[in-house]
Amino acid sequence: MSGRRVAAGWAAAVIATIAIALAMPFRLTDGDSCLYAAMAHDMAAGRTSWTAPVWDFHGMSYGPGTEGVCFHEHPPGALWLAALVELCGAPVERAALVANALWTLAAAGGVIAIARRFVSRSASDLAGVVFLLHIGVMHYVQRAALELPLAATASWAVAAGLRLDRSRWWTLAAAAGVAGAVLTRGVLGLVPAGLLVVTCLDPKLRPPWRRLLAVFVLAAVPLVVFDRLHVHLAGEGCLAPTHVGFWSEYFGRQVLPSLQAGGTPHAVEGPTAAYFLGRFLLYSLPWSLLVLWRLVRGPRPLAAPEAWRLAAAWIVAVVLGLSLGSREGSRYLFQAYVATSLLFVLALPRELSGKWAWAASTLVLLVLPAQIVLKQAFRERDEWWQTAEIAAQHRFRPGAESHPEARGRTVSGPFQPEDDRMKSLLRFHLDAWVSSAPVTEMRGRQWVPGAGEDFPVGRVEFATPRGAVVDYAK
């Protein structure tokens, strides 16, 4: 397939994916996605800084002029694309989904770029298909989380790093990938930078050391600039504005406590290493089966052994790195799926040819739009979905600016203050914090107290299948 046809095919895939994402009657229903989408919306609306976003922490109210606390759990890089998509005209409830689809296509492209360094064009296209058909990736197609942005930036950092000997432009691309990965996922974004250092140990992959040094220097520049802008812009909108950089707060509040309490995550029994290794083995199926067969029964010698070593190092770095902390979650493993996809095409008994090559090149452009449509068609409209629908229908309309009293309110109600999922869901689907629609207009829905709970003091402002929003200030 010629370069022009490839470019035209990818352009058509991007346009089709965006169009489908905009047309879907989609509702974000998980707390993380709603939190990130809400902060991206605040960025686009000018309500918060792009380098020092704030969030409503545990549903607490901090008084006039204070919208929340500075968000230090993760760097905000993954939110910027959703904010840009909204600024380009996408509706707020679709912007995060469109951005996530673009991140997914970028990740698939990065996987293909890595594979193309070692295998044919058709086989590298198959690597992109395999990445999109991982269980974890399919699950995150309609989310607005950090995992696919990390896979995209990390894969392109490695793909560019493997080509440092070809052009200076690849040096800039590798630096952008490394900086983007860190700005997206913090310490997990350092893994691709470590892999570039590992390539120095392999004669077939070794990059020019001066260009590799230039990659790290250039990558450090936006990280330092972001840190300084965070200090400058983390001002009146934040509770207890910080006068130190983002990275200091991030390592002090997020990374170091997790390392100090490392060993066994809170939601599973046994060592963290066993948890992440088990999750990787489970969620890399069925693609890892061919890799295991190739290692145990396949012909010798292995083709491109340097690529096998690189992919293995990537998986080991991710699993062992995650094992040091106290957090659990299969979502942290997304970088490893890039390596699994590469190993799969390396394990193929021969290069693709004929109709198989055509099929791989076509599928990589069709899989993601098909996934969005199919997941939308078969998705269960559970209580979270119903809550999002009601919230979207009863939020303030374009005349919200005429209700200044609605600004800056926190969401609270008959759920635990730490229930960030409910709080974030309501915050995203309500353009203002508290809806003005009385509970009697909610088709008979009402809040039912849980065990040991009393009806909250205050006027019920908004009712959903999952609870009610109560304005305690009235």
φ, ψ of residue 453 in degrees (nearest 5): -105, 145
Q: Is the pTM of this model over 0.75?
A: yes
Mean of all residue pLDDT scores within the chain: 77
Q: Is the dihedral of CA 217, 223, 226, 228 positive or negative?
A: negative
Centre a 10 Å sphere on the Cβ of residue 266 and count the other Cβ atoms it contains: 8
- Is residue 81 a contact partner of residue 102, using CB atoms and an 8 Å limit? yes
Instruction: Tell whether the model's pLDDT for residue 308 goes beyond 60.
Output: yes
Q: From 69, 105, 100, 68, select the one nearest 85 (Cα to Cα).
A: 100
β-pairing, 459-464 with 69-70? unpaired
- Please tell me which of 46-60, 105-119, 239-253, 294-308 the model is most confident about, judged by mean pLDDT: 105-119
Would you state the pLDDT for residue 431?
52
| Domain map (residue ranges) of the chain | 3-25+96-378, 406-471
Residue 218 has pLDDT above 80, yes or no: yes
Is residue 402 predicted with pLDDT exceeding 90? no
pLDDT confidence of 5, banded at 50, 70, 90? confident
- Kindly report, residue by residue over 70-113, the tens digit of the pLDDT: 788 889 999 999 999 999 988 877 888 899 999 999 999 999 99
Quickly state the pLDDT bin for 297 (edges 50, 70, 90): confident
Encode burial over 21-60: b for 16+ CB neighbours within 10 A, e otherwise.
bbebebbbbbbbbbbbbbbbbbbbeebbbbbbbbbbbebe
What's the average model confidence in pLDDT over 314-340? 87
Average pLDDT over residues 5-29: 81
The two tokens of residue 419 are: 């229930």
CA distance linking residue 382 with residue 386, whole number of Å: 6
- pLDDT band of 270, cuts 50, 70, 90: low
Query: How large is the average pLDDT for residues 231-240?
Result: 60
Partnered with residue 458 across adjacent β-strands are: none
CA distance 11 to 81: 18
Confidence of residue 156 (pLDDT cuts 50, 70, 90): very high
pLDDT of 442 over the 70 cut = no
pLDDT of residue 439: 37
What's the CA gap between 240 and 125, in Å, rounded?
A: 50
Asked whether residue 175 carries a pLDDT value surpassing 70, the answer given is: yes
The confidence band for 153, taking pLDDT boundaries of 50, 70 and 90, is very high
| The residue type at 232 | H
Give the angle 305-307-308 at the CA atoms, nearest 5°. Answer: 65
- On the question of pLDDT at 199 being above 70, the answer is yes
Q: Per the structure block, which two tokens stand in for 417?
A: 């203050």
Alpha helices in 54-134 (DSSP H): 77-87, 92-116, 121-132
